[in-house]
Structure 1
Amino acid sequence: MLALLLVALFAKWSAAALHHLFVGTVDGGSLYVLEMDDMERTLTVLRNETAAGASPSIAFDRSKLFLFGTRPSDGTISRYSVGPDFSLKHEGTGQIPESCNTTAFKSIKISSAIRNPNLIYGSATTGTCSTLFSISITGYYTQRSNEIAGDIRSFAWSPDGRHLHALDSESSSLLNFGIADEPDLKDLLDTKAIKDTKAARQVITHPVGHRIYVVTRDTNELLDIPLLNNDRIDGPIAANRSAILVKDTPAGQYVTTSVAISSSNATLWTLSHTASPENTFMVTAFLLDAKTGAVQRRIARASFRNYLGDGTQQPTSVLIPAPFDGDMVALTTFPGAMVAVLGLVGESIKSFGRAMLAQDEGCCGEGVWLK
């Protein structure tokens, strides 16, 4: 009996060491499923699924039964059902609510709603005109905000799902939308510029603290912005700033494109890179106050190179926080076609696996974990 119990416990523990990451493509035709074994520190391609088109931004619905992928070139979203073997079945493609006098966009970012599990929210931008939208997981219900004169490529939810914070990169402003039980995306509560900031790139929120973080693309700064207890923005925004790169880094050498928080709520990660074909990446980890989210100090930095690309494509790189225990993140690169998982061990950044997906020239876009 004891032997059987030990076998059962070992099997359960072993299974818990496997995690699955779904990855889209920037302009390719595949969706990838990768499997990470955190005991062996390996990352392998489990499936390479033919997609309805490129999916630079992907998201699960709250049930994790459906995966959604965007195609900015024609303003569409595709839905895929997720099988028990992690296979994907394309179930249909629909148009997002038309806006900005076009159906072609430079970027469409999507995320599942926190309060309503049946809605997917998104932002679509031409670079100078943007709109926020939501679509039901069945595709039969859509709504959108008023058009916004700006470039909204990133948005984040307040912990309770009552606020949606959208970042306008063109003006480096934050737009705070109220989300009711029956939202209409017309309740714009606040629009505030971030003082002395240019080219703000991505916004995220702390999972329990009333706090926003923003990274700037060209000046490579981490901005720490406290909110009111109701997650409203209090007057003109004066952010607490932390330099992401070392002091002697030449101006213009790096751009910062992504920021994420580990599941511990105590570690924040940033990702910076140079232009292709050199493709040097810099990952920086900051210590946070786990309750308030205030940035304490920089604790670790790691760099690596990835030479794929011919220098003609605008490189992108994205961080994906791991939802399971541990201070870990995944990152994807384009046109480098690499997916890697990094973790914080003490005050050092260690690799927990890497996979090269160079067979698809459009890889890699965003990724999402299936916990």
Structure 2
Amino acid sequence: MLSLLLLCIFTRWAHAALHHLFVGTVNGGSLYVLELDDAAKSLTVLKNLTAAGASPSIAFDQSNKYLFGSRPSDGTVSRYLIGPDHTLQLEGTGEIPASCNTTSFQSIKITSGTQSPYAIYGVASTGTCSTVFSMSITGFRTLKSKEIAGDVHSFAWSPNGEHLHALDSTANSILNYYISGDPDLQSLQATDIVTNATNVRQIITHPVGHRMYVVTQNSNELIDIPLRVDELLEKNTTQTRAYVLPKSYVSDAWVTTSLAISASNATLWTLSQSKAPDNTFIVSVFRLDPVTGAVLKPVARSSFRNNIGDGTKATSLLTPGPTIADGTDLVSFTTYPGAMTAVMGLVHKADGTWGISAYGRAMLAEDEGCCGEGAWVD
């Protein structure tokens, strides 16, 4: 009986150590499933699945039953049924509402709504014209906002799920849409400016604290912006700034492309990369107040090189991963060009300081279209 109990415990522990990351492609025709064994610190390609086309942005619905992938080249979103063995079955492809006098976009970013009716929301941009859109899980209902004379390729939900904050990189502004139980995407409540900023790149919000964060691409800054209780920006509020790179670095040699909050809400990660031909990446980690989201201080930084890719396209992305059994928060990042996916965690070292530990790296060099956005299913 004891041996059987130990076997059951070990089996449950071993299963819990496996996590699965889906990765899209920027201009390829595959969707990848990668398996992370967090105990062994290994990342392997579990499946290379044929997709309906490139999926640079992917998202699960709230039930994790379906995976959605966007295709900017023809303005479509495809839905895949996820099998118990992590296979994908294409169930259909729908067009996003016609926008900006085109069906071909430079970028389409999608994510799942956090409140009922749990539709898929997205932003599509030509680079000079953008629209916010929504598609029901079944695909039978689509909505779109009025067209935006700017480049919107990043957006984030308020903690209560009732506001969608869209970042316009052209005007360095944040558009706040109210999302009701029966949304129409016509409720643009406010447009606020990110002060003294240019080339804003990505926006995220703290899951419980009333604040949002923005990174700038060229000046490599992290901007902490408080929100009111109603999730709108407080007028004339202080927007706290921190440089994500050491001051000794020449800023115009680097671009900051992404940021992410860990699953525990305790850390914020930023990703920067050097311009060609060096092709070096730097990951910086900041401690957060887990309740308010206030940026407390930088605690760790790590650099590494990717020997594949020319480093001229700033498309590398961070995705928050699971918190594993020992309490370590994980994040993954994907690169294009470069065809690399890696997983890292923030660990507390014996000397009391924090460090970044590698949990696995997978090279997909045979696929020149890899890698797009990642999404964790468990």
On whether the aligned pair clears a TM of 0.5, the verdict is: yes
- Percent of residue pairs bearing the same amino acid type: 60
Structure-2 separation of matches of 1:43 and 1:75 = 32
Structure 1: give runs of 5+ residues left out of the alignment: none
Number of residue pairs matched by the alignment: 370
Query: Which residue in 2 is equivalent to 1:340?
Result: 342
User: Would the aligned equivalents of 2:152 and 2:169 in 1 still touch at CA under 8 Å?
Assistant: yes
User: Would the aligned equivalents of 2:279 and 2:310 in 1 still touch at CA under 8 Å?
Assistant: no
Amino acid corresponding to residue 317 of structure 1 in structure 2 = S
1:107 pairs with 2:107: yes
| Within-5 A mapping of 1:73-88 | 73-88=73-88
User: Would the aligned equivalents of 1:133 and 1:185 in 2 still touch at CA under 8 Å?
Assistant: yes
SS of residue in 2 equivalent to 1:323:
strand
SS of residue in 1 equivalent to 2:153:
strand
Deviations 1:290-329 (A, max 9, x none): 1100001110000111121246x52410000013343210
Deviation at 1:128, TM superposition (A): 1.1
Structure-1 separation of matches of 2:30 and 2:314 = 19
Query: Which residue in 2 is equivalent to 1:5?
Result: 5
Deviation at 1:236, TM superposition (A): 4.1
Structure-2 separation of matches of 1:69 and 1:276 = 29
- Which runs of at least 4 in structure 1 moved beyond 3 Å after TM superposition? none
User: Would the aligned equivalents of 1:130 and 1:147 in 2 still touch at CA under 8 Å?
Assistant: yes
User: Would the aligned equivalents of 1:194 and 1:236 in 2 still touch at CA under 8 Å?
Assistant: no
Query: Which residue in 2 is equivalent to 1:362?
Result: 369
SS of residue in 2 equivalent to 1:15:
helix
Query: Which residue in 2 is equivalent to 1:289?
Result: 289
Query: Which residue in 2 is equivalent to 1:200?
Result: 200
Structure-2 separation of matches of 1:231 and 1:82 = 34
Structure-1 separation of matches of 2:45 and 2:32 = 7
Task: Please give the TM-score of this superposition, normalised by the length of structure 2.
Answer: 0.96
User: Would the aligned equivalents of 1:61 and 1:117 in 2 still touch at CA under 8 Å?
Assistant: no
User: Would the aligned equivalents of 2:164 and 2:177 in 1 still touch at CA under 8 Å?
Assistant: yes
Structure-2 separation of matches of 1:93 and 1:42 = 34
Query: Which residue in 1 is equivalent to 2:351?
Result: none
Query: Which residue in 1 is equivalent to 2:120?
Result: 120
Amino acid corresponding to residue 232 of structure 2 in structure 1 = R
SS of residue in 1 equivalent to 2:322:
coil
Structure-1 separation of matches of 2:296 and 2:129 = 36
Q: CA RMSD in A?
A: 1.2
Structure-2 separation of matches of 1:355 and 1:129 = 36
275-284 or 97-106, which moves further after superposition?
275-284
Query: Which residue in 2 is equivalent to 1:322?
Result: 321
Deviation at 1:237, TM superposition (A): 5.3
Task: Please give the TM-score of this superposition, normalised by the length of structure 1.
Answer: 0.97
Structure-2 separation of matches of 1:230 and 1:321 = 26
Structure 2: give runs of 5+ residues left out of the alignment: 349-353
Amino acid corresponding to residue 333 of structure 2 in structure 1 = L
User: Would the aligned equivalents of 2:322 and 2:329 in 1 still touch at CA under 8 Å?
Assistant: no
